[in-house]
Amino acid sequence: MLETSTFWLSDDERARQAATAEPERPSQLGVPPRHRSREPRRPRSGLPSLVALSLIAAFFAWVSAEPFWLAVGHDVKGRATVIQCTGDGIGQRCFGQFATGDGFSRVDRVTLLGVTGDQRARGAVSPARMVNLDGQQAYVGETGTLMQLRWMLGFVLVLLCGLGIAGLTGVRRLESRRARHGALLLSVACPLALLAGFLAAAY
């Protein structure tokens, strides 16, 4: 109403009225309201995600370890002799023998990767490399773009598994910033530790 408008009050009366009035909400004063912290996620909901992503990270670490060492030049050069090839495309499975270039060492049965075309024929001999003679895989051909992409993509996926663990186990729900940062580092460090273990084992 016009009679109750503050237009008719003096400066002193306006000041007294403002002091006795209920304070406005923080959002009305331009101050963002404080967000209520969310409760941490229950262990039984985050544990399956942790286990699943850890297994996925272990797989990518395993398939990336040998390509990484071959890409950086840690290998044993020799020749691979095909014993049998079955399937085609991504379902291809080839087995054979690997012998070092000097002929003094031989691995009787290894999985052959990178076999194409006429190299699939039984008894075909092709240049190949192994990370070490204790391994179970021999790689036919030279280090190319595909080999580089294989280990780089694997490393990236291992890192993404760590970030996924942090997200699905509720790291952002922790109370303090220090706790959130520590949990995030731990989530990423676990898959990277798996990667380091597979790299050491494949060396």
Q: How confident is the model over 79-116, as pLDDT tens digits?
A: 999 988 888 877 888 899 999 878 788 888 888 888 88
Query: Is 125 part of any domain?
Result: yes
pLDDT surpasses 80 at 1: no
Tell me: do 137 and 79 sit in the same domain: yes
Cβ-in-10-Å burial (0-12, 13-18, 19+) of 120 comes to: middle
Tell me: do 83 and 183 sit in the same domain: no
Tell me: do 138 and 153 sit in the same domain: no
pLDDT surpasses 50 at 202: yes
pLDDT surpasses 80 at 25: no
The DSSP code for 153 is H
Tell me: do 54 and 98 sit in the same domain: no
Confidence band for 160, pLDDT divided at 50, 70 and 90: very high
Q: What is the rounded CA–CA span in Å between residue 128 and residue 138? A: 6
Which residues does 127 contact at the CB level (< 8 Å), separation at least 6?
Answer: 77, 78, 79, 80, 140, 141, 142
Tell me: do 99 and 135 sit in the same domain: yes
Confidence band for 126, pLDDT divided at 50, 70 and 90: confident
Tell me: do 103 and 137 sit in the same domain: yes
Query: Is 100 part of any domain?
Result: yes
Tell me: do 197 and 150 sit in the same domain: yes
Query: Is 134 part of any domain?
Result: yes
Domains held by the chain: number: 2
Cβ-in-10-Å burial (0-12, 13-18, 19+) of 94 comes to: buried
Q: What is the rounded CA–CA span in Å between residue 146 and residue 154? A: 12
Domain-ending residue, one of 89, 115, 142: 142
Tell me: do 57 and 152 sit in the same domain: yes
Q: What is the rounded CA–CA span in Å between residue 72 and residue 35? A: 50
Tell me: do 136 and 184 sit in the same domain: no
Mean pLDDT of the 11-30 span: 56
Identify which has the larger pLDDT, 175 or 10: 175
Q: Are 187 and 162 in contact (CB under 8 A)?
A: yes
Q: What is the rounded CA–CA span in Å between residue 194 and residue 162? A: 11
Reported as a single tens digit per residue, the pLDDT across 59-77 is 999 989 988 998 888 888 8
Residue 58: what pLDDT?
Answer: 93
Query: 177-202 and 145-168 are packed helices; what angle lies between their axes, rounded to 10 degrees?
Result: 150
Q: Are 80 and 129 in contact (CB under 8 A)?
A: no
Tell me: do 124 and 150 sit in the same domain: no
Residue 7: what pLDDT?
Answer: 43
Which residues does 87 contact at the CB level (< 8 Å), separation at least 6?
Answer: 93
Give me the residue label for tokens 């990518």: 60
Residue 184: what pLDDT?
Answer: 84
How is residue 17 written in tokens?
Answer: 């009225």
Q: Domain residues for 181?
A: 43-73+144-203
Residue 185: what pLDDT?
Answer: 87
